[in-house]
Amino acid sequence: MEHVIQALGSVFAIQTLLFIFIGVAVGILFGAVPGLTAVMAVALFLPVTYGMSPGVGISILIALYIGATSGGLISAILLKIPGTPSSVATCFDGHPMMEKGEGPKALGVGIVFSFVGTILSILALMLVAPNLAKVAIKFGPHEYFAIAIFSLTLIAALSGKSMIKGIFAGVLGIAFGTVGIAPVDAAVRFTFGTNELKGGFNTLTVLVGLFAISEVIKTAEKIKSASKDEVAQVSMKSIKGFGFSWKEFREQLPNCGLSSLLGVCIGILPGIGAATSNIVAYTVSKKRSKRGHLYGTGVIDGIVASESANNAGIGGALIPLMTLGIPGDAVTAILLGGFMLHGIQPGPLLFTNNATLVYTIFIAMIVSSVAMLILEFYGLRIFSQLLNVPKHLLLPIILVLCVVGAFGINSRVFDVWTILVFGLVGYLFVKFKAPHAPFIMGFILGPMAETNLRRGLMFSEGKFSGFLTNPISGTFLVLALASIVWSAASHYRNSRRDQEMLVVEDEE
């Protein structure tokens, strides 16, 4: 209790609370602006914390992390542009709800379940961190390969009505993911003599191009005059609270619980992160839901799954960092630097040697989550008014922000050209009605699968049997096979049902 009381005194000091609210606000801004990320926010503020006490400094960095992760939902819903990679799946149902005039409700759902997902991940961090981390640390190349393959089989559920187009998009994503220096043997692939391509394509530039630039092109194509877009007109007078009922909240709790669990578990695994967890959670939610056929048309279920999972990944990523000293993603890698900057070494001894700091982090996370909920609730009215800005004014601003964000990643003009190229790819996807999600999954998980396949074969002396005899990887490969069979059967049933409906319509 002595450590808890000291931690409470540290976090609830006026100065610390002010810093936490500022950190959350800045994080939301970084998350909402396409091209800016939680990684940038935490990295930029790392030197600012140098002269502060460890508890206050790390609390600010945690606040930035939480705010930026949640902030991505704002542009994902309003503009169909994921502010961060962790908000990709939020676009799938968030923007269709906005187009139906339910933008404020979509924002309210996203905000509330971002908060719930974060709180659940904090509980996981506090209660089961050591045990979960012990399991995660046992994962090697065999396990990571099997998880990647299992996740790739979920492409079928994100393919929409055309399985062929979904598989094509996924394979194309894997192909783009192979550009650059190959893992393990460092062979140069598909660079065509261009030095910039040796490093491959940055995930953020691909996402900004695929969603943001393509959306700008598509919207600009539809604009016939400089008047306000009629679809975007939203009145806040009829919105009460967060825009959805208590009944809808209760109905979504199982969906939120499962998605948060997935977010925590995937967050624990180093190198995967929220960019994958939100899509995986969305896919799993779609498969198990009775309303799965409505996903992508504008239902709150999809937003709940995505936002619960990506925010739950925060606590998940902190579990291996605090218990083992191993960062779970890029943000926690910077947080590791923050710990070391203040002379603290994360690991098993952190909980005994710096117990007060541990409780300070737990309490700071809870306070940051509440600050996020408050700031986004009162900002809900402001965010919604963005919908009423004439598109001929909004689109150029978005384009400039995307270009600045892309250039700011590595200070390379090449990244600006990258977002334009992938913007064209995304626009072609729209024209040919090909889904974006399988491309993103292929691009992110393809290199992961390849790298761990090659490493696993090296461990097994070139024998693939090592992937099957390993209990964890073998289980995931069996699940992958079951997922393929289930998806194929579901697709066949849906095709038969559609054909029967057409026959009935023709007879009538």
pLDDT in tens, 346-356: 877 777 778 88
Q: In the prediction, which pLDDT does 478 show?
A: 92
**What's the whole-number mean pLDDT along residues 161-166?**
78
Check pLDDT > 60 for residue 224: no
Q: In the prediction, which pLDDT does 226 show?
A: 41
Q: What is the CA radius of gyration of the chain?
A: 23
| Rounded percentage of the chain residues whose pLDDT exceeds 70 | 84
* 73 touches 380 (CB < 8 A): no
Q: In the prediction, which pLDDT does 384 show?
A: 61
Mean pLDDT computed over every residue of the chain: 81
Strand partners, 189: 180
Taking the model in full, what pTM does it have?
Answer: 0.72
CB neighbours (10 Å) of residue 422? 24
**What's the whole-number mean pLDDT along residues 220-239?**
51
What's the per-residue H, E or C state across 453-478? HHHHHHHCCCCCHHHHHCHHHHHHHH
Please tell me which residue, 389 or 42, carries the higher pLDDT value: 42
Q: In the prediction, which pLDDT does 82 show?
A: 78
Residue 30 tokens read as 């970084």
* 336 touches 342 (CB < 8 A): no
pLDDT in tens, 462-475: 888 888 888 888 99
**What's the whole-number mean pLDDT along residues 397-420?**
82
pLDDT in tens, 73-129: 888 888 787 777 788 888 889 888 888 888 888 888 999 999 999 999 888 888 876
pLDDT in tens, 317-336: 888 788 777 676 678 877 88
Cα torsion 28, 31, 36, 37: sign: positive
Residue 92 tokens read as 């799938």
* 422 touches 210 (CB < 8 A): yes
Q: In the prediction, which pLDDT does 258 show?
A: 92
Q: In the prediction, which pLDDT does 231 show?
A: 41
Q: In the prediction, which pLDDT does 304 show?
A: 92
- Residue 237 φ then ψ, to 5°: -65, -35
